[in-house]
Amino acid sequence: NGNGQNGKRTPFAGDSSERLLAIIDNHQVQDLMITVEAVAAADPVQVLIDLSAVVRTLHVLQRQLPGLAIGSRFFFGMYDFDWEDTILDMLASKLDKLFIENSCSPDFIGINSAQSLRTRLMQGSKEIWFGVDCIIRHKNRRKAIIRICHPSRKDESSPFL
């Protein structure tokens, strides 16, 4: 959800994603931060792919969804979805800097996916910067931010932090 005209909340669905893409194009937006709760788009993955094709930097802040059970794997309107390939597809387009902040459901990406992303992203030649909230399970459960970046970008932080 976002704030529309007069501060009213508007659902992030088909029409609003098309309007957002038009605004990005008309104003040549390069850096975008979106805050979402529920996403009503028919294909949330496609919304992220479309955004990744038109901006260089994307920060997605997932707000607490009312009634979301503790331990749910939830992000961008989807439960129990494997985001690894989508993140790779996003960073294979124009997008070269992605930060996903999902403290209400940090289990949405597991440590195995995070490690696989690290390996796969570092094998590429594109100078990417990627950060994500996730849970690292070792001896105890703890929240962490995983950052994967090309060596040339190691000193960068998110422009939205």
pLDDT in tens, the chain (161 residues): 344 444 444 455 556 788 889 999 999 999 999 999 888 888 999 999 999 999 999 999 998 888 888 778 889 999 999 999 999 999 999 999 999 998 888 778 877 888 898 899 988 889 999 988 776 655 555 666 778 888 888 888 766 55
Residue range(s) defining the domain that contains residue 92: 2-153
Asked whether residue 26 is assigned to any structural domain, the reply reads yes
The pTM for the full model equals: 0.83
Asked whether residue 158 is assigned to any structural domain, the reply reads no
Show the tokens assigned to 121.
């992203």
Residue 48 makes CB contacts below 8 A (sequence gap 6+) with 60, 76, 86, 90
Asked whether residue 52 is assigned to any structural domain, the reply reads yes
Give the C-alpha separation, 31 to 42, whole Å.
25
CA dist list (Å): 37 to 10, 117, 118: 11, 25, 27
Asked whether residue 69 is assigned to any structural domain, the reply reads yes
Asked whether residue 24 is assigned to any structural domain, the reply reads yes
Residue 69 makes CB contacts below 8 A (sequence gap 6+) with none
Domain count along the chain: 1
Asked whether residue 44 is assigned to any structural domain, the reply reads yes
Residue type, 121: L
Pairing state between β 74-75 and 9-10: unpaired
Asked whether residue 137 is assigned to any structural domain, the reply reads yes
Place of tokens 């994500």: 132
